Amino acid sequence: MNYKRLLKPESMAVIGVSLHNNRHPANIVYRKNRLRYPLKVFAVNPKGGKIQGERLYERLGDIPEKVDLAIIAVRADLVPRTLAQCISAGVGGAVIISGGFAEVGQTALQDQLVEMALAADFPFIGPNCLGIFSPEHVDTFFLPPERTVRPEPGNVALVSQSGGVLVDQMVNFASGGVGLSVGISVGNKALVDEVALLEYLSSDPGTEAIAFYLEGFKKNGGRAFMEAACRCQKPIVVLKSGKSPEGGRAVSSHTASLAGDYAVFSQVMAQFGVIEARTQFELVSFCESISCYQDTIKGNIGIITGSGGHGALTVDFCASHGLKVPLLSQGLQSEINRRLSSSVQTIAATGNPIDLTGSAVDDDFVAAADCLSQSPEVDCLVLLVLPYSPGTTSDLGARLSEVCHREGKPMVAYVPSLERYRMLIEGFELNHIPVSPAIEGAVLMASAMRRESC
């Protein structure tokens, strides 16, 4: 199937727009896309009339222009007839927002949609979903725009079986500075599922990393997903629910999926180089990292800090996430010490972590980062930057970023998240260096780069 018109539409028809209920899902989708997005938008309702001064078309076939994407928001029993009209009118694909299918036991009705679509080679997302959000391009979510938080455009695609989890993660992406290429809520994934989207996104030039929230699979779907993941050259992160028997029951009632044997799936993900996120926090940390760095590391970490306690915590977090913090060679330690300012040379610890102490200035952090970036003893730097240290300035993030870009060795940073530290944080983020407001988050970012390959 061709997914281009479905996922990158230039025109949209919203079917089910109401003349009397502005809160109807179809009305919300129609209104915000017509007013806020560049694609052409048409409203459809059998009663016809006008809405917001625009014609309300009685039939999809009455629209005088080619329609790439149809949004179907009608009663479940009317969806098959509506889908047939989309196919007959030459629409490129559909998002079926309507619920009332396999998730409530109406499998025959859902199967009817699949049979029709397969016969016509017609792709649709859903049913029982929010659909597609692509920053500055299209938004099929039936959520009022004033209540949603939208990430900036970026290079991470996020596919979710749950619309609610997807919206949550968009909030987390926005607060974490993670840019989104596309967010897709697949709902019951009756036709277009995670395997089809993984294959599409693998070749999408706007996407460099792919994240999934998965509840379960169709029969043999887990195997197909892992095979597609092995073919994909881009980093993949998965957050999986349905890990417990109770969670499996919740999954089945939500999107009619099979949760499967989680332990086996988790082992296979690790074997095939798929990064598993255990929590939503981990998912955001991993995505921020792989949005900046797609290459892998061995996992030898160099830590630079202005606080010994922060360094000790980081070592423990590294150990718990399978990362090594090697003792640096005497030669490297001597070189680092030689380049430090005289006020900290006698009090700094250079073994790893490199504790520059609270007396360090920007030049000390830059000198230590420069030495580690040129050394083969570590392959990633974790920078613990404490903005309240008297010798550091708001320029430190930008200056350390220059070292990263010059030497090519990945860095991740921990900086407490307060508005007064915003300029320091932006020095990293604007230069595509991932920053976490938690020490463990920075370690998670480093661990995302350490993964197996097929």
Block residue for tokens 């030669």: 331
Is the pLDDT score of 260 beyond 90? Answer: no
Gap between the Cα atoms of 433 and 413, Å rounded: 7
| Confidence band of 220 (pLDDT split at 50, 70, 90) | confident
Mean pLDDT of 377-387: 97
Per residue in 124-152, pLDDT (tens digit) is: 999 999 999 999 999 999 999 888 899 99
Binned at pLDDT 50, 70 and 90, residue 253 comes out as very low
Q: Which CATH number fits domain 1-128: 3.40.50.1970, 3.20.20.120, 3.40.50.720, 3.90.25.10?
A: 3.40.50.720
Nearest C-alpha neighbor of 132 from the set 75, 94, 171:
94
Q: pLDDT tens digit string along 174-185?
A: 988 899 999 999
Stretch 208-222: mean pLDDT: 92
What integer pLDDT is reported at residue 250 of this predicted model? 52
How far apart CA 433 and CA 233 sit, in angstroms, is: 22
Tell whether the model's pLDDT for residue 246 goes beyond 70.
no
Q: Is the pLDDT of residue 312 over 70?
A: yes
Question: What's the CA gap between 398 and 342, in Å, rounded?
Answer: 24
Give the pLDDT of residue 247: 46
Predicted confidence band of residue 244 (pLDDT cuts 50, 70, 90): low
Q: Quick one: DSSP state of residue 376?
A: T
pLDDT in tens, 55-87: 999 999 999 999 999 999 999 999 999 999 999
Q: Is 295-448 the same fold as 1-128? A: yes
Mean pLDDT check: name the lowest of 83-92, 213-222, 342-351, 435-444. 213-222
Give percent above pLDDT 70 in the chain.
Answer: 96
Instruction: Please give the pLDDT value at position 272.
Output: 87
DSSP code, position 151? P
Architecture of domain 295-448 in this structure = 3-Layer(aba) Sandwich (3.40)
Whether the predicted pLDDT of 441 surpasses 50: yes
- The pLDDT assigned to 197 comes to 97
Q: In the chain, what are the domain boundaries? A: 1-128, 149-294, 295-448
pLDDT tier at 243, thresholds 50, 70, 90: confident
| 8 A C-beta contact, residue 12 and residue 41 | yes
In terms of C-beta density within 10 A (0-12 exposed, 13-18 middle, 19 or more buried), how is residue 406 classed? exposed
Query: What pLDDT does 245 receive?
Result: 60
Residue 251 has pLDDT above 80, yes or no: no
Confidence of residue 328 (pLDDT cuts 50, 70, 90): very high
pLDDT at 389 over 70: yes
Least confident of 202-216, 231-245, 299-313: 231-245
Burial of 160 (0-12, 13-18, 19+ CB in 10 A): buried
The pLDDT value recorded for residue 300 is: 98
- Looking at CATH, the fold of the domain delimited by 149-294 is given as Rossmann fold (3.40.50)
pTM above 0.85, yes or no: yes
Q: What percent of the chain has pLDDT over 90?
A: 86
